[in-house]
Amino acid sequence: MTRKATSTISNENESFRSRFKAIKKQISKYKHLLIVPILLGILALPRLVFAFIVVCSKIDRRPYIRLLAYCTAFIPCITILFAFILPAKLYRTGLFTFVKKTQARSFRNLCSAYQHTP
């Protein structure tokens, strides 16, 4: 091999290594954006399985399976709270202020409804 060919191969290897390091750095920086959709997809699988069970078989004798499938369908929606809202400080404070306002409003409505009943 000539010097030029050897230097070209080593430059290509260095270029590949630097690109690989950059990609690895980006993946480690944004891993939460990769993990959460995969997790939500995995958590949505039981809903799909139960949907096929309900459609493809008669389960009138076991109504608790339908209830379990219905409750399982909400797990991916609930995980959004833990995956996105609670880790971010801005969203967490917004959620807590919303909950406090809603609780205060509900308490006022409950008290006013209780006072008006004879």
Asked if pLDDT for residue 58 goes beyond 80, the answer is no
In the block, tokens 């309900």 appear at 54
The model's confidence at residue 55, banded by pLDDT at 50, 70 and 90, is: low
Asked if pLDDT for residue 95 goes beyond 70, the answer is yes
The more confident residue out of 13 and 103 is 103
Total-model pTM: 0.41
Rounded to an integer, the average pLDDT of 79-98 is 84
Question: Range of 115's domain?
Answer: 91-118
Q: Are 65 and 59 in contact (CB under 8 A)?
A: yes
The more confident residue out of 32 and 96 is 96
Asked if pLDDT for residue 97 goes beyond 90, the answer is yes
- Looking at the fold, whether 24 and 47 belong to one and the same domain comes out as yes
| Structural domains counted in the chain | 2
The model's confidence at residue 46, banded by pLDDT at 50, 70 and 90, is: confident
- Looking at the fold, whether 83 and 53 belong to one and the same domain comes out as yes
- Looking at the fold, whether 95 and 78 belong to one and the same domain comes out as no
Taking the alpha carbons at both ends of the chain, their separation in whole angstroms is 101
Q: Which amino acid is at 99?
A: V
- Looking at the fold, whether 69 and 115 belong to one and the same domain comes out as no
